[in-house]
Structure 1
Amino acid sequence: MFRRREAVPFAFVAEADRFRSNVTPPPRERPSRSDLASRSLIGLTMVCGLVGALLLGVPALDSGQAQGHSQKSEASRGH
């Protein structure tokens, strides 16, 4: 289970750091207006979905202890 590590000459590592390619990549295409509109609509839909889930989920997570606690205290007062 021993891993064999081969030594890398320092000159090779130093040369790799200095290496620059003389080939330039092609310029990136600018997104069209329809692409920008579709991306923004998708983002807006996702944000609205998360906000809607939060608004619907918070009342469902409410344990209702405030209402149940007051009913128990009224029942205990009567008896």
Structure 2
Amino acid sequence: MFRRREPVPFAFVAEAARFRSNVTPPPRGRATKSQIAGRTLIGLTVVAGLAGSLLFGLPALESPQAPSRTQQSEASDGH
């Protein structure tokens, strides 16, 4: 097979691995106290939701135990 001489569409995608830019992105701005507090509250809400679902879900996941034979029915007490 022979190679195509004309440029292939989206050839820049294949060349992206070896492309290096000399333009540095601007530095990231620091988060404000309200942003940090908001992120913390969201994180705590997610963790509390997971812990609550685990707390309420574990009893539902337990297998039922066989009833104990220590109690006798009232009908068998008189006979």
| TM > 0.5 | yes
Deviations 1:20-48 (A, max 9, x none): 32211111111111001000100000000
Aligned match of 2:34:
34
CA root-mean-square deviation: 2.9
Large movers: runs of 4+ above 3 Å = none
Structure 2: state its 5+ residue gaps. Answer: 5-13
Q: 1: distance between equivalents of 2:23 and 2:45?
A: 41
TM-score with structure 1 setting the length = 0.60
Aligned residue in 2 for 1:60: 60
| Structure 1 spans left out of the alignment, 5+ residues | 1-5, 8-12
Deviation at 1:70, TM superposition (A): 2.5
Q: Which has the higher helix share?
A: 1
Q: Which residue does 1:70 correspond to in 2?
A: 68
Aligned counterpart, 1:10: none
Question: TM-score by structure 2 length?
Answer: 0.60
Residue identity over aligned pairs, in percent, reads 55
Q: Which amino acid is 1:61 matched to?
A: L
State the 1:74 CA deviation: 7.2
Match of 1:46 in 2: 46
